[in-house]
Amino acid sequence: MKPRVGFFDFASCEGCQLTVLNLENELLDLVELMEIVEFREISSAHGEELDIAFVEGSICRPEDVKRLRAIRARSRQLIALGACADTAGINALTSDRPVAELVREVYGDKGEAFLVAGRPRPLEAFVPVDGRVPGCPIDGGEFLTVLQALLIGRTPELPTFAVCAECKLRELPCTFERDVICLGPITRAGCNAHCIAEGDRCRGCRGMVDAPRSGPYYRILEEYGLSEEQIRDELRLYNLGGEAKK
């Protein structure tokens, strides 16, 4: 029996599912290894019992919670696909403002009458999650690694070190040398420092390593002249922590 797999999405851009579809070299093999019984973005088929559910997106509304719980109830394993599902991702950027105010701002006064909105939360705020593929978007290679672990019955594990380690292994010059702030020292590795290699900096989309040494890191940021507000701004993009992500 091939494992039965489904892909689902909530509040997100669907870029993580697209990243799976962008594995052109592996896609035909993947189709042989498992039975993709649900994938709304590319299929109108429906399945019942699932071995693995990959879920993208944040949970915002009561109806989302209901749909997520129904998916959980029929899935042996449920995996958070991407930052929105894993930590609420970029959706959490607005979580310091009352939802009613946001609705008014975007939809005007009339919107309030019919628009149900809520604070975006990660999957694990509502259901047990058996594994995660972090990042915004996910890294296709890392998705394959996690999938491989699941298919051979192992618990998928993520790197426990920071992006800095991968950056140095690639011999990339540190962005701080060009006075550019980077969240590499506190962000979980696994992306092979992709954005830094492409000329940008790390913005922390994969979430923090377990127990980041943030004290010394903040001191470095202060040495570079960043105010507390600016440091918060840096972390806000994907790592607001506290309320928004719980």
Partner 1 sequence: MKIAVNHLARIEGHANLVIDSVRGTVRELRLEIVEAPRFFEPMLTGRHYSDVAHIAARICGICSNSHTLVSLQATEQALGIEVSEQTQSLRRLLAFGEILQSHLVQLFFMALPDYYGEASILPLVHTERALVQHALELKKLANDILRVVGGRPVHPVTPVVGGFARLPEAADLQELRRRLVRVLPDLEASVEIFGSLDYPDFERDTDCFSLRGGDDYPLFGRQLVSSGGVDCAVEDYRDVLEEYLVPWSTAKFARLQGRCFMVGPLARLRNNFDLLSPMARQVAEALGLTPDTANPYRILAARLVEVVHGVERAIHLIDELLLAGLQAEEPLPPQRHGRAVAVIEAPRGLLFHSYSYDAQGRIEQADCLIPTAQNLANIEADLRARVPELLETGREELTRQCEQLIRAYDPCISCSTHLLTIDFA
Q: Please report how many Cα atoms fall inside a 13 Å half-sphere around the Cα of residue 178, on the Cβ side.
A: 10
Which residue's structure tokens are 């979580």?
A: 95
If you write DSSP's letter for every residue of 206-240 in order, what string do you get?
T-BPSS--HHHHHHHHHHTT--HHHHHHHHHTT--
Closest by Cα among 197, 192, 203 to 174? 197
Beta carbon nearer to partner 1, 114 or 215 = 114
Q: Is the dihedral of CA 33, 39, 42, 44 positive or negative?
A: positive
Beta carbon nearer to partner 1, 149 or 176 = 176
179, two tokens = 């006075």
Beta carbon nearer to partner 1, 173 or 215 = 173
Q: At its nearest, how many Å lie between partner 1 and the CB of residue 153?
A: 24
Beta carbon nearer to partner 1, 43 or 148 = 43
Q: At its nearest, how many Å lie between partner 1 and the CB of residue 108?
A: 7
Give the binding site for partner 1 (CB under 8 A). Answer: 10-19, 21-22, 24-25, 27-28, 31, 36, 39-45, 57-58, 60-61, 63-64, 89-91, 93-94, 97, 102-103, 105-108, 110-111, 113-115, 117, 120, 136-137, 194-195, 198-200, 203, 233, 237
Q: At its nearest, how many Å lie between partner 1 and the CB of residue 93?
A: 4
Beta carbon nearer to partner 1, 25 or 155 = 25
Are 180 and 201 in contact, with CB atoms under 8 Å apart?
yes
32, two tokens = 């042989």
Q: At its nearest, how many Å lie between partner 1 and the CB of residue 215?
A: 25
